[in-house]
Amino acid sequence: MQYLNKVKENPDIANFAPGRIYNMIMKYGNTPIEDDLKITGYEDLVKYNFFDGKIFGTYEAIHDIMRFMKASARRTETGKRILIMVGPVSSGKCLSSDTKIYNTEDGKFYTIRDIVNEKKSIKVQSYDLNGKFKEIRVSNFFKNGKQDLYKITTKKGSVVKSTKNHQFLTMNGVMWI
């Protein structure tokens, strides 16, 4: 009964992780994009203020992700089509040290380099083995030395720099670089 009273006071606590992420981003609002900057298929393009000053030149990619997050928050089929970085539980994900990671505790982005060098204790959204998002504390840091990086560019122009032993969850299943 106590849980139901808490849900009655704050219905957001009953949301699944995608709903919480979507609401977290949307609480910052959005700003219209000038019509002459929009391309075909993006007539409804907006700038999400949550990412302002953190991620640049990726309005279309972020807009696509937000479409999926909205669908996922509403538990529709389209919401299951998000690109997710995959790796064994509690393992490094083999990304470039300049990759920005979102800390769900303070709402700020930090580079992997800063997290490791400063031994920051952060929480991130993780995708568990049951196919659910959950918030976890980063448990360990690994410096794997210098390795070749591969630049992965999505159809929408988002870029991820990763080592060759990194997996990605795509619309076609888990794939290696």
d(CA 124, CA 130): 17
Residue for token digits 């840091």? 141
DSSP result, 69-123: HHHHHTT-GGGG---EEE-STTS---B-TT-EEEETTTTEEEEHHHHHHTT---E
Residue keyed to tokens 């640049």: 56
pLDDT of residue 164: 75
Cα→Cα distances 93→84, 86, 161, Å: 11, 7, 11
Contact 16, 73 (CB under 8 A): yes
Block residue for tokens 């794939």: 175
Distance CA 84, CA 167 (A): 9
Structural domain 84-176, CATH architecture: Beta Complex (2.170)
pLDDT along the chain (177 residues), means of 10: 79 74 88 82 86 71 79 66 48 72 87 84 74 72 72 78 73 66
Q: What is the pLDDT of residue 14?
A: 73
Q: Residue ranges per domain, the chain?
A: 2-80, 84-176
What is the C-alpha separation between 152 and 5, in angstroms, rounded? 46
In the prediction, which pLDDT does 8 show?
84
